[in-house]
Structure 1
Amino acid sequence: MTELMIEVIAVLVIAVLAIAAATAFGPKVGVATPLLLVVIGIGVGLIPMIPNFQSNPELLLLGVLPPLLYSSSVSMPAMNFRREFAAIGGLSVVLVIASAVILGLFFSWAIPGLPLPWGIALGAVISPTDAVATSIIKKIGVSPRAVSILEGESLLNDATALVLLKAAISAAALSFSFWGAAGNFVYSVLIAVGIGFLVGKVNLWVRARVSDATVNTVIGFAVPFVASLPAEALQASGLVAAVVAGLVTGRGAPRVLTPEHRLSDAQNWRTVELVLEGALFLMMGLQMSGIVQDLQHDSIGIVAAAVIAAGAFVVTLLVRAVYVGLLMRGLTARARRYTEAKDRFATMKDRLDKGEPMIQGDEKGPPGGRDRFERAEQDPGRLSQFTTRLVRGLADIEYYLKAPSAGRKAPC
């Protein structure tokens, strides 16, 4: 075994032990594990004999993020994702684009000679929330509904940021087309959703026929890559494909996989998450010394870079605060509408249970027309489907009314 190989293995072992130590002691000292790992990485990077560390972006994009996003999407309740899809879509698409454009304007103003397209490209890099960092909010008393929205956002916003980044780079090369960028975004998402859905279904079909829990879990480890790599090869979003495959798997697993298989999945994926998440934050810290050295030799200087970074941080918070404020107002208004509809839906459900007509006398009935409901009552198939939708609608209303504003903590 060569000396270099021994050094590499030793570094990996030390990194794993550092991740385990930070995870174990972080909560005891009141510091979030990711922040503690970043600090450890910065400290190690400042040691003189440690060479500057640089990560491979392609390796992170293709080898680290797909399994992390897949694991998060598998564990996310599919029903909550459906209920909050409008909020999640707005945060992961509209907010990312707005943040990137406003940050691009800020960077082009603050950095002399920086063209706007490159400013937007830089804004696209920092505008999406991080899927790993989002886990921190679970420990500070935020409502479960807010957690669901933010987790859903972090699963999808990277795809928006990557498409926007490519569009900004094309604009910098004077080959930008708005409709071309929009078409690329739609293509990237649709192809990725199709691949992810197909891989998720095939994954469930195959694993339902594998009796060994260990083999079953090993197959599960390959799923995010089976979804993401073909999507990337077709110029679509591999991250979205991995997320969709995870959502499909998470929704269908309780029906087709045994409790033993699901328990094995949960335990092993938690280990994978722990190592990969910790490695990401350690690498962030290790790269800081190299970034500082580069800034020392750059004309802009460390102080100016720190001021610009602080300004970008403030701009990002302000944009997000404005958007989330508008989102909260919309959620509250929707809760008021659901309050008005709850009694009407409950009355219809009660009448259906008693075998009575859903609409009686001169009642106007819900939106959609009285005739449609009367026809449904005469068709057993339609009536069954309508009853299912009505029950689901009542459950959704109860969910929204328990936490009408995503920032409020749901009652116990």
Structure 2
Amino acid sequence: MTRKHYRIGVMFSTTGSYSVVARSILNGALLAFQEVNACSSDVELEPVVVNPSGELPRYRSLSLELLGSGIRQVVGCYTSSSRKEVIPCFEKFDGLLWYPSHYEGFESSDNVIYTGAAPNQHVLPLVDYLASRVGLRAFCVGSNYIWAWENNRIFREALIAHGGTVLAERYLSVGDIEVDQVIEAIIDQRPDFVFNNLIGTSAYAFFRAFRAACRARGIDQAAEIPVASCTLSEPELPEIGLDAVDGHLSSSVYFSSLNSPENAAFIEAYAQSFPDGPVSSADAESSYIAVKLLAAALSQAGTDDARKVRAAVADRRLRAPQGEVRIDRQTFHAWLTPRIGRSAANGQFEVLLESREPIAPDPYLVQSSPRFASAMRSPLLKVVQS
């Protein structure tokens, strides 16, 4: 059988302030490329890897270079600001961006396939958990760009629907590690929990300094003022450090501690291919899923034409490490399985709750408006362990 050869763009910032996660995402994609090319598929994929180094103008210029070279499919971007930066390029030159990161929703493009979690798959389950089990008074912190702005807005509306309140919001520039003033404000307000949307080095500095500041005041931070995130993942835990790594809550669709044959095979293959790390993460699994779905869609379409590949991926299913995943025909986002985890000293997450089944994506929250969260939705998650 003659295999069709396709060059696929791969664009992640493996240097810069959020490079640890980005390297994990890149590894997930590269593992999928290896597996696709090793099987008897009728397609062969050649990854063309570029590194924007976390600089927004470089995302645009590299996208134009990839598309200008004849590449029509690109797996890439971690931050929402980078995704927003490149979408006009893909729309102008009719390419398809496979975006593998959880995000804030409220976006639709015929030139993007979203394999990461939408807000109803990570923000709303976290609000449900916190409001029912932790408290109703929140302090929000985040990196100063659209991801944190929108996530905090959705979070605030959902928490208010539960009868809660947001005491304050504070933002730091991406990469800013001067966190002491924010921490003093948090301790002064004594919220029930902190909702964290800081990313990369800013987040790691915050976790360390917040734990140290609480310890100095005799506060058991993990028990009395826990930090909850929709971003924190396994490769980032070593960056926080042993003194502050445990007790943090994370809302995600994947944790590497999941007990399933598919995840065991994924973890083993990942570790063998990338023994120097960083370890796998939800975003790594999402980029792995993106490449696997892309390969199947290319095979069905018989071409890398963006419109034909998009049509071929609609309703396509995959038995992924997290469980069954499929691309929603209406939104071109993925059906995913929400989970709540708590970080442990061993660098893993204990899964506390999880959905009984994959949840339909609702990027515009038209079916799950946070304004009516308590009235509209039955409990989303089942208890795994307390």
Larger relative helix fraction? 1
Q: TM-score range by the shorter chain?
A: under 0.3
RCO higher in structure (CA 8 A, sep ≥6): 1
Larger relative strand fraction? 2
Give the alignment's TM-score, normalised by structure 2. Answer: 0.23
- Select the structure of larger CA radius of gyration: 1
Give the alignment's TM-score, normalised by structure 1. Answer: 0.22
